Amino acid sequence: MPPTPRGPHDDPDDRVPVLQAVDLRKHFPVRGLRSTAVVHAVDDVTIELYRGHVVALVGESGSGKSTIARLLAQLMPATSGRILLHGEDATARGRRAFRAYVRRVQMIFQDPFGSLNPIHTVRYTLTRSIRIHQGRLRGAELEAALEELLTRVQLTPPARYVDKFPHELSGGQRQRVAIARALAADPEVLLADEPISMLDVSIRLGILNLLRDLRDRLHIAILYITHDIASARYFADRTMVMYAGRVVEQGDSEAVTQDPKHPYTQLLISSAPDPDDLDARARGARGEAPSLVRPPAGCRFNPRCPFATDVCRTEVPPLLPVGEGREAACWGYSDRPDRPRVGSVLETYGARKEADR
C-alpha cells in the first residue's frame, strides 16, 4: 500500500517503491549424506520500501528477518522471487552490477564490534568507502568528505574521532561510524539489521533518533529489523510481523502494536516485560517454534494457536484485510464457514489455565 504524503519532499515518484521484493523465498539445503531436505528460512515474502519511510520487520529469533535483509542486500542469492529497484529487475549478475547496486542499497549490520576492522582507524574505514563510491578524492576534498560524514552521524568535532581505532570508541560511536560508512555511498535505501540490539539501553534511543533524522533529511527508505516491537512502534511508519519464515501481519505501526489481530502478534506484544502483570506473562504461548526443515502444514503458528481448527492445519492462509491498510494471515478473518473464532490469546490461555486447576 503506497504511503500517505508526509513532508516537503513528497512528489509522485515517492508513491512508487524504491526497493521491492516480490514473493521472496530462501531455502537452505541441509548438509548430509544424500540429504534432500531444506530449511524453509523465508517463504513468499513481499516487501515495499518507499522514500522517506521506515518499514519495521519484527519477529523472534529464527523467523527469517536477517535472511531477508541479506537477500535484499544481495549478499546471498534467493531461491525464488524478484528484487526490483524502481520497478526494474535488480538482480546483480557480476561484480560491476553488484557494485552499482550497493551504491543505492546499503546495509548496517547488527554488531558494531565485528563490522569494523580493529586494525584500521576511522579515517581508513571511511576513506576506503568514499573512494569506492565517490571516486579517488584526495587532499582537501577528502578531508571535507570525511568531516561531512562524521558530522552527519553526530560525531563532532570530527577531528576528535577521525584518527581513532574502533577499540577507542564506545559501542554507540562504533555504530555511528558504521552508519557513516554506509552513507558514503549516498544510498537510497538503508537495511538496518538490528542496529541497536548489541548496544547499551541508554544509547539505543540516540541511534534510532539518528536514523530518523537521516530519513527525514536525506529522504531515504529504511528497513528496520528488530525483535523489539516497542521500538518498531516508536521508529517505524509500518510494521511487518514474521513468524517461521512468513509474514503473519502488517500495517500501520501504531495500529499493529495497539490492536494486534494475529494471535502470534498478540503474544509477541504481551511478551514485553510488565512487572505489574506477571501472571499474564506466565501464561505465554504453549509449545515451541516449529522446525523449519519440516514446517507444519497450513498456518505455521497452528501448533501454538488456541484457536486453530482443521483449516488452519491444512491450508496456508493468505494475508487477509483486517482494517484500513492492514492485513493478517489468519483464517479467522476470512468469510469461509469453517473459519476459527479468533479472540484474545491471553484471555483464552487464562480461561484454560483456570479450567485446568
Q: Which of 198, 247, 217 is nearest to 59 (CA)?
A: 247
Tell me what the mean pLDDT of segment 223-250 comes to: 94
User: Per-residue pLDDT tens for 45-63?
Assistant: 999 999 999 999 999 988 9
Backbone angles phi, psi at 18, to 5 degrees: -70, -50
- Pick 272 or 36 by higher pLDDT: 36
Q: Give φ, ψ of 199 to 5 degrees.
A: -105, 160
Half-sphere exposure of 153 (CA within 13 A, CB side): 24
Element (H, E) at 255: helix 253-258
Query: What is the separation of C-alpha 31 from the centre of its chain, rounded to a whole number of angstroms?
Result: 28
- Would you give the distance in Å from CA 120 to the centre of its chain? 29
Mean pLDDT, all residues of the chain: 88
pLDDT, mean of residues 261-270: 91
Q: Please indicate whether residue 113 or residue 162 has the higher confidence score (pLDDT).
A: 162
Cα separation, 280 vs 21, whole angstroms:
37
Tell me: the pLDDT tens digits for 123-133?
Answer: 999 999 999 88
CA distance 305 to 286: 8
Q: Which of 246, 202, 211, 321 is nearest to 57 (CA)?
A: 246
pLDDT of residue 202: 81
E-strand spans in 262-310? none
Q: For 303-324, how does the pLDDT look when each residue is reduced to its tens digit (9 = 90+)?
A: 999 999 999 999 999 999 999 9
The pLDDT of 221-247, averaged and rounded, is 94
Backbone phi, psi, residue 216, to 5° = -75, -40
Residue 201 has pLDDT above 70, yes or no: yes
What was the pLDDT predicted at 112? 81
**Position 351, amino acid:** A
Kind of pairing between the strands at 54-58 and 238-243: parallel
Cα 246 to the center of its chain, rounded Å: 13
Least confident segment among 86-90, 211-215, 275-279: 275-279
Residue 295 cell numbers, joined: 514446517
Tracing cell 529487475 back to the chain, one arrives at 89
For residue 34, how many C-alpha atoms fall within 13 Å in the half-sphere facing its CB?
A: 0
Distance separating alpha carbons of residues 351 and 344, to the nearest angstrom: 11
Across 19-30, average pLDDT: 95
Q: How far apart are CA 142 and CA 29, in angstroms?
A: 45
The radius of gyration computed from the CA coordinates of the chain, to the nearest angstrom, equals: 22
Sheet of 221-226, strand order: 105-108, 189-193, 221-226, 54-58, 238-243, 246-252, 326-328, 320-323
C-alpha span between 208 and 75 (Å, rounded): 24
